[in-house]
Amino acid sequence: MVDDSEPRVLKHQVVRRELDALLDDLSPGDPFPSERDLAERHGVSRETLRQAMRELLVAGRVERRGRATVVAAPKVVLPLAIGSYTEAARDKGLSATRILVGWTVSKADDDTAELLRVEPGDAVVQLERVFTTDGTRVGLETTRIPEYRIPGLVETFDYRVSLYAELRTRGVVFGRVVDTIETVLPDAREAALLTVDTRTPMFLLNRVSFDKDGMPIEQRRSLYRGDRMTFTAEMHA
């Protein structure tokens, strides 16, 4: 049996299409009308208007700046690859930098030891940074590396540059990575660091990187704003 019935078009979807058309005539950074003005203009309730606006926010067509809403710049589109976010963004002609959240050195618990193939209790360095692109906070990255691989890193590394480039200067050669990607919502701390609310959809990328000999280099947890980022992957048969 084939269901050939037409899907029901909801009122907020009609409004969404009308708002999309309005956005087509505006430029990034332009102010967007208030919810009250838009609800009156389109003859719908504030709740219906909010549903349409929510879809625009998730799609990255508008963004919040304090209490104001403005037209958003196009999403940043980057490939999923072995390498640095900063380097990939700059290759696209974008400005990119990092904001230091903090360094910690801790003893590996059983799970971390198994993941990084070290002994429980061995020292593991953790680096947490916020990524920015063209002045916008787009990602939060937490990297854990066995201390024996990177002696003196905490004292000498410039957190604003690529960690992958630093590892290459130390003779670390990446062989492969294993990525797991899912969608999540940020907790209150993560939302504050990325200057978004806790309803903003996120891409969560968990990665374990290995060297040419198959030994783990790092375990990385990257949280990217779904309203500002798009990732691509190229595969060959």
Looking up tokens 């060297």 gives 211
Beta carbons within 8 Å of 135's beta carbon, 6+ residues apart: 95
Return mean pLDDT, the chain: 89
CATH class of 76-232: alpha beta
pLDDT at 24 over 80: yes
pLDDT tens digits along 153-200? 999 999 988 898 899 888 999 999 999 999 999 999 999 999 988 888
What are the residue boundaries of the structural domains of the chain, listed by start?
Answer: 11-71, 76-232
pLDDT confidence tier of residue 7, bands split at 50, 70 and 90: low
- Answer whether 11-71 and 76-232 agree in fold: no
pLDDT at 87 over 90: no
Domain 11-71: which CATH number of 3.20.20.80, 3.20.20.140, 1.10.10.10, 3.60.21.10: 1.10.10.10
Phi-psi region of 50 (alpha: psi -120 to 50; beta: other; left: phi over 0): alpha
Distance separating alpha carbons of residues 200 and 111, to the nearest angstrom: 30
Of 6-10, 122-126, 225-229, the one with minimum mean pLDDT is 6-10
- pLDDT of 11: 85
What token pair was written down for 200?
């903003």
Predicted TM-score of the model (pTM): 0.83
* Amino acid residing at 63: E
